Amino acid sequence: LQTPGAVFFIFGATGDLARRKLFPAIYSLYREGKLAQDFAVIGVARRPRTQEEFRSDIRESIREFCRYQAGDESEWIEFVEHFEYKSLDINNIGGFRELRAQTEVLEEKFHIPGNRLFYLALAPELFGSVSFNLKEGGMLDSTGWNRLVIEKPFGYDLESAEKLNEQIRQVFKEEEVYRIDHYLGKEMVQNIEVIRFANAFFEPLWNNKHIANIQITLGETVGVEDRGGYYDNAGALRDMGQNHILQLLTMIAMEPPSRLLAEDIRDEKVKVLRSLRPYASSDEVRENVVRGQYTQGLHKGKSLPAYRQEDKVDPESNTETYFAARVSVDNFRWAGVPFYIRTGKHLPVKTTEVVVEFKGMPTNVYLGQKHKLEPNLLVIRVNPMEGIYVKINAKKPGSESDIQPLAMDFCQSCMIGINSPEAYERLLHDATRGDSTYFTRWDEVSSAWSFVDRIAKAWREDSSDLASYPAGSWGPVEADKLLAKDGFHWWPVN
């Protein structure tokens, strides 16, 4: 499906996100014929840059990060002539008026019907003033639609998120705001819905009668890299928990929506977030949530520094680089089923995986006590491998009655010719077409913050529970105890 004609404004056009993700996404959409011919992109940033310099930045970004490579010179020129740059101080209203004039010229040149998409790849503190100046500078007085796409972190806690939201809402309506959670743009995350609702044999089992527990792991091998300044204030709970993990959890736990439309799906997701059982006290937080910070360690023979030695990190920092939690979803479907979630920096494997562990057979009547059956598992691999597998028990070939677990494996990313679109590609495409299904609505964001804030509050009161783990390991042992208390263990990640 092709997008309608539009001008894309990339605020933060000289930054990392634009270079690594946004320009490559625009080029991939163009190459796939998903972008209307009547489009233009205006890169906006403070730094002065000539049109030529900007266009050569784009070429570099595509060379380095895009799954398509630029073709011959004439094709490239045809693409890149749609790009212009505007150096702008976002507090200067005059600059926005100039931007307006520049936009109108481009709209006329490419016959663009006045649709404008503002992508703020900026620090959230700036969202409010940019929105305000877009309005004051006349950027929203066009004949088409206006949409605002914003990046995380959406606030630091509920209170700051509310403030941010109020500022934005003075200018944009909720349905014009597209809050990015790039995990929702991942192929396999979107596939969860299809696996669940299009297969007769999963949905009937998808409840507390048949499922023993669900495990969600977002493991990263990288440390904080050069983002120490941001990360030391955020920590794993805010960086990955409040958004990506809880969003994945909602996709796994939600009820089937009445229609496959954005609002119906998001209505169901928000119900899950509202059903998360809040930890009633700080003690309850400590019983159910483990946090850790990496110390010096090794990964594939390479020595890794401790978190406290990282650049721009407080040498006495108590920020968590890992957390694991036992979460309860209090509704009829999930009562009694623990959801275990975990994420961490400098773990041994880069992986996003969901494991659904099914309950055992009633009793081992048929096979006798001799056999200890492994539970059935459904494993959804989100990245970097994409696919699903089901672990079942079967007779060991050649034996009389020995049983062994075997995996029925479907590896999507192994299939020749499958090159899943990048999350940003899909999300940009969706936002331009006005499909907000895979963007987070304000009530989702606020419910997620309410849940997370209680954990953060307990942690602020007392930091004695901060565990440590060597970089390159699977996190603190305390995280294993969380499951052991319930008679479970983390399933090894492949």
Q: Annotated binding residues for substrate, as ranges?
A: 182, 186, 220, 239, 345, 350
Under 8 Å between Cβ of 323 and 236: yes
Fill in the per-residue mask, 185 to 204: x = in contact with ligand BG6 (CB under 6 A), - = not in contact. Answer: --------------------
Sequence-separated (6 or more) residues with CB below 8 Å from residue 161 = 154, 155, 445, 446, 449
Helix (H/G/I), strand (E/B), else coil: 484: helix
**Smallest distance from ligand BG6 to CB 352, Å:** 6
Cβ 186 to ligand BG6 shortest distance, Å: 7
- Give the separation between CA 147 and CA 455, rounded to whole angstroms: 34
Q: Tell whether residue 176 is a contact of ligand BG6 (CB under 6 A).
A: no
Show the site string, 364-393: x = touches ligand BG6 by CB under 6 A, - = not. -------------------x----------
Choice between 116 and 238, CB closer to ligand BG6 = 238
Tokens 């406290």 map to which residue?
308
Q: Report the residue number, 154 or 279, with the smaller CB distance to ligand BG6.
A: 154
Please answer whether residues 329 and 273 qualify as being in contact, where contact means their C-beta atoms are separated by less than 8 angstroms: no
**Which of 239, 357, 444, 453 touches ligand BG6 (CB under 6 A)?**
239
Minimum CB distance to ligand BG6, residue 240 (Å)? 6
As measured in angstroms, the least distance from the Cβ of 230 to ligand BG6 is 8
Could you tell me whether strands 146-150 and 211-219 are parallel, antiparallel, or unpaired per DSSP bridges?
Answer: unpaired
For residue 244, indicate whether it is catalytic.
Answer: yes
Nearer to ligand BG6, 107 or 151 (CB): 151
131: its two tokens: 């929105």
Say whether residue 453 binds ligand BG6 (CB under 6 A). Answer: no
> Helix 23-31 and helix 51-65: axis angle, to 10°?
80
How many residues bind ligand BG6 (CB under 6 A)? The answer is 4
The two tokens of residue 217 are 């792991």
Q: Applying CB under 6 A, does 353 fall inside the site for ligand BG6?
A: no
**By CB under 6 A, residue 151 contacts ligand BG6:** no
CB atoms within 10 A of CB 20: 16
Q: What is the DSSP code (8-state) at residue 468?
A: E
Q: Which of the following is catalytic: 244, 299, 346, 429?
A: 244
Residue 220 within binding range of ligand BG6, rule CB under 6 A:
yes
| Cis peptide upstream of residue 470 (ω within 30 degrees of 0) | no
Question: Whose CA is closest to 376, among 212, 207, 250?
Answer: 212
- Interacting residues toward ligand BG6 by CB under 6 A: 220, 239, 352, 383
Positions marked catalytic: 244
